[in-house]
Structure 1
Amino acid sequence: MAKSSVQYVCSECGWNGAKWFGKCPECGQWGTVGEFHEARAAAGTRTAAPGRTSRTQPAAPSPAGSKGSATPITQVGTEQVTRVPTGFGEFDRVLGGGIVPGSVVLIAGEPGVGKSTLLLETAGNIARSHAGDGSVLYVSGEESQAQVRLRATRINAVEPNLLLASTTDLATVLGLIEQERPTLAIVDSAQTIVSQEVDGISGGSTQVREVASALIDTAKTLDIPVLLVGHVTKDGSIAGPRTLEHLVDVVCQFEGDSETALRMLRAVKNRFGPTDEVGCFDMSGEGIEEVRDPAGLFLSAGDGQEAPVEGTCVTFTLDGHRSLPIEVQALVTNSVLPTPRRAVNGVDSNRIAMLTAVLYRHGHINLLANDLYVSTIAGGLAKEPACDLAIVAALASAAHRTPIARATCAIGEISLTGQVRPAPRLEHRLREAARLGFTIAVVPTPRKPIEIPGLTLIEVRSLAEALTALGLSRR
């Protein structure tokens, strides 16, 4: 008979121990340590789920070269693994080229950001591409089959080989995967599935750890990829024990602003590809559409024929391997308050305070007594140090009421001494600028010469030189 042990587990970080603490010794959170009872099964045993084979007997010795045996690394085959395309080029980019068979991918994000819609549309794409030679299993623990069908109809993901199941029982989920042997299995979500073999509430540390371990075991044994939806806590971290992120093969964050339709998919962990890729999607009433060229999202709309506007400057940031244009807009007004106001959106407020002081000391433009409003377009982020020069240029343009030419961009970091420092991967940013039609770029002196057809580089070493090159020096 299995022994029942009492342990205490932190619901935030997954710490466990034999003694209760009001404050978690690992993460320092108060009131997160709770008692749970876990029935530990004997080694090599697991209760058989419906449709599963019971594994109560010790495993027989494996032949050399098979799973479970040690093989010299020189004898391990390096055959190419065939990845499963998701139907979204942006999704495949983040995963490293597609879904690896037998892998477990965790997709996490805020409520309502579109995780379930993205995976249901992915399931429809894969089912459509494997019509007649495979199926896709979509298991929902949050919605009924009818509710999932309604959403699938709205996003055009209804396929005859897309199988739907609505259950919260882990044994049933594992039995369905073993019975159907699908090309892809999607479980939505890890926090709603419950195992009857362990104690604990749905979404608790014990249950999430057991559900993840069982799904990973099934995925590796049957060589079936599993996409797992994960909830997040109020601070944005993935709910459940930290070991959940260590167990799975890929961890992706699906991010987005509720005020815009732009969604970004980032790989936080990836055993089969890079972790510096980002995928862009557009959320609409008909589902999710990938955005292959998001350059126009963060720039003001226009045909390029209208006159330039004061208080704006374009820079280029890096997001993974992508270079994105960001338009910085600034408004300078006389303050009637004892303490001038600093309102920002998409820009670091502390960085604005520092750049305002540097602009006064080394650029001789006094904005310390003015109200400053700095923002970006369409929820873009200009928090990278390489955006400093564009922010200062936008502030100086607004202060002097002198517009900057639309075909001019500025890239560079500004130090407290007024120097303009190089930005990483400057040539990559400049090539994207030339592709979008920019003809002049104000940049720091690069470490090696850069020549890009159609783009004139104005190299500057200090803030004063940059303002002079942009026509914004003190009058």
Structure 2
Amino acid sequence: MVKKARSIHTCSECGYSSSKWLGRCPDCGAWGSLVESAVSSAPAARTGISSGMTQAPKGLTPTTPATPITKIDAKASISKTTGIGELDRVLGKGIVPGSVVLMAGEPGVGKSTLLLEVANRWAAQPEGEGTRRALYVTAEESAGQVRVRAERTNALRDTLYLAAESNLDIVFGHVEQIKPSLLIVDSVQTMQASGIEGVAGGVAQSRAVTAALTTLAKTTGIPILLVGHVTKDGNVAGPRVLEHLVDVVLNFEGDRHSSLRMLRGIKNRFGATDEVGCFEQQSDGIKEVPDPSGLFLSQHGRTPDGSAVTVAMDGVRPILAEIQSLVVDTEAKSPRRVVTGLDANRVPMVLAVLTKRTPVKTGRQEVYVATVGGVRINEPATDLAVALATASTYRGKALPEKTIVIGEIGLSGEIRRVPNLERRLQEAARLGYHRAIVPAGEKLKVSGIRVHPVHTIDEALALVEELS
């Protein structure tokens, strides 16, 4: 008598498994995420331990013997440049042979365009007696669609191979024929492995595809770049096991209404995760921005009233950003506080401190605060810039030219110190700023910039009046 195949329900969000269907996953709390799949009923292999025997279980003879760590060639893991400096910065000097990189991002943010440019730059670099070969596998678009994009971004090259295929076995056949030194798969959720039940993008298929591609990378030394979809919460779609299988997880993010794109490292086995790469979406593709501070400063030539320039830290990268504030009289009983690009909960707190501790009274006025260029800043080091920009538009008097404002504001009006202050000032001095209003208490001496330490918000406003 043939036994009926046993089924198991697996959560598509976190990979939790249950023998019965549940409306809500007990592990991650997602609703309606448990998907049914069949499980093999093959009996488990017996060992001495599982059968209660006292003798030790016998192991299999390894195909590759263990090697002393001192005799392993370290040159095999030296990173190779991708040809794009901002991507190499986030990866940690380049991509390591045999590594698997998962790049996630929202639809339309430019993941495919960026990776097509990576394949183009990779295929243009010499290696040995010839040039590198790159294989770009697309399972979401036709070969003609990718060809049109490559023509628009000037990514046409004989050493860049293209295959429109969703069957993983056929992809392995392409790898054996072409022997590329870089493989790009777009995307991992649309690939399908034969012999595995479930639809493409499901838990079983995504896990099997990622595991097979990881094995391919480790056995052949070919670095693989995978494109991954994200959920509405911003997390990588599929079970969390995908992030554990790969070596590097990158998040490519950006606003649809802005040309700015940021590449952040979430996981990196070969480098730090606090590096950030900056790109700009243009009509002919995505271009790297080695010096992004100019994107976040207005081009009016002088500093108008209601504007202050600060230095924000994005990871370990200092970026100059301009904050603008507008104070408007209103007859409404509840004046509005509109915030764009900053922490919407912190800006009203800064305005409350400004109203309570200084002569600048904005309690019955509407205040609009925004950043220039679409940059998003969530650190409290911009508090003093928000306060001084608001005071500037309130008084109708601009801040001194070429002045940087950095500092966190406490509820009692004190100016608190911020991390990496010296590095922020060095970046400001490099871009031509010669004066800085910063928290007191640190001994700083940065060439080319004069530092003005302040203890309270009142002291900062008095200093601005004196310098103006």
Taking structure 2 as the reference length, what is the TM-score of the superposition? 0.92
- The answer to whether the aligner puts 1:396 opposite 2:394 as a matched pair is no
C-alpha displacement of 1:79 = 4.0
Instruction: Provide the C-alpha distance between the structure 2 equivalents of 1:442 and 1:411, rounded to a whole number of angstroms.
Output: 6
Taking structure 1 as the reference length, what is the TM-score of the superposition? 0.90
Instruction: Provide the C-alpha distance between the structure 1 equivalents of 2:3 and 2:103, rounded to a whole number of angstroms.
Output: 35
Residues 52-451 of structure 1 mapped to structure 2, 5 A cutoff: 60-62=61-63, 64=65, 69=66, 71-73=67-69, 76-79=72-75, 81-130=77-126, 132-302=130-300, 304=301, 306=302, 308-447=303-442, 449-451=443-445
Q: 1:2, 1:42 within 8 Å by CA — same for their partners in 2?
A: no
Q: Deviations over 1:366-398 (max 9, x none)?
A: 211110100000111232100000001111111
Alpha carbons of structure 1 residues 4 and 86: separation in structure 2 relative to 1, 3 Å: farther
Q: Deviations over 1:252-300 (max 9, x none)?
A: 0111111111111111110011101111111111111111111110001
Partner of 1:53: none
Q: Deviations over 1:404-456 (max 9, x none)?
A: 02311110111112111111000000011111111111101243x11112211
Instruction: Provide the C-alpha distance between the structure 2 equivalents of 1:185 and 1:456, rounded to a whole number of angstroms.
Output: 51
C-alpha displacement of 1:80 = 6.3
3-state SS, counterpart of residue 470 of structure 1: helix
Q: Deviations over 1:281-328 (max 9, x none)?
A: 1111111111111111000113x3x4x311000110001221101100
Q: 1:142, 1:188 within 8 Å by CA — same for their partners in 2?
A: yes
Q: Deviations over 1:335-378 (max 9, x none)?
A: 22121111111011211111111112222322111101000001
Alpha carbons of structure 1 residues 367 and 472: separation in structure 2 relative to 1, 3 Å: farther
Gaps of 5+ in 1: 45-57
Q: 1:340, 1:370 within 8 Å by CA — same for their partners in 2?
A: yes
Q: 1:329, 1:376 within 8 Å by CA — same for their partners in 2?
A: yes
3-state SS, counterpart of residue 325 of structure 1: strand
- The answer to whether the aligner puts 1:459 opposite 2:453 as a matched pair is yes
Residue 424 of structure 1 aligns with an amino acid whose one-letter code is P
Instruction: Provide the aligned C-alpha RMSD in A.
Output: 2.2
- The answer to whether the aligner puts 1:27 opposite 2:22 as a matched pair is no
Instruction: Provide the C-alpha distance between the structure 1 equivalents of 2:224 and 2:140, rounded to a whole number of angstroms.
Output: 17
Identity %: 48
C-alpha displacement of 1:63 = 5.3
| Range with bigger deviation, 112-121 or 128-137 | 128-137
C-alpha displacement of 1:60 = 4.9
Q: Deviations over 1:98-142 (max 9, x none)?
A: 110000000111111110010011101111114834411111001
Alpha carbons of structure 1 residues 261 and 349: separation in structure 2 relative to 1, 3 Å: same
Q: 2:124, 2:131 within 8 Å by CA — same for their partners in 1?
A: no
Instruction: Provide the C-alpha distance between the structure 1 equivalents of 2:418 and 2:18, rounded to a whole number of angstroms.
Output: 47
Which contiguous aligned blocks of 4+ residues in structure 1 show a shift greater than 6 angstroms? 40-44
Q: In the alignment, which of 453, 464, 468 is matched to residue 470 of structure 1?
A: 464
C-alpha displacement of 1:25 = 0.4
Instruction: Provide the C-alpha distance between the structure 2 equivalents of 1:32 and 1:88, rounded to a whole number of angstroms.
Output: 38
3-state SS, counterpart of residue 272 of structure 1: coil
